[in-house]
Amino acid sequence: MNEHLEHLAPSLLWRHFRTLCNTPRPSGHEARLVSLLERWAERQG
């Protein structure tokens, strides 16, 4: 699927979407994804 996302616009949005898709998050085990999003938000200010 990733190769299809490379050609979509806006590219920044699809890059973030690809990161979300590539982060394992089985039901009830979303902590890794939550941590990823929190770190990203902290870096954004």
In the predicted model, what is the mean pLDDT of the chain? Answer: 89
Q: For the residues 6-35, what does the mean pLDDT come to? A: 90
Distances (CA, A) of 42 to 5, 6, 24, 38, 45: 26, 26, 21, 6, 5
| Largest pairwise CA distance in the chain | 33
Q: Per the confidence metrics, is the pTM higher than 0.75?
A: no
Reported as a single tens digit per residue, the pLDDT across 11-24 is 999 988 988 988 88
Q: With 90 as the cut, is the pLDDT of residue 7 above it?
A: no
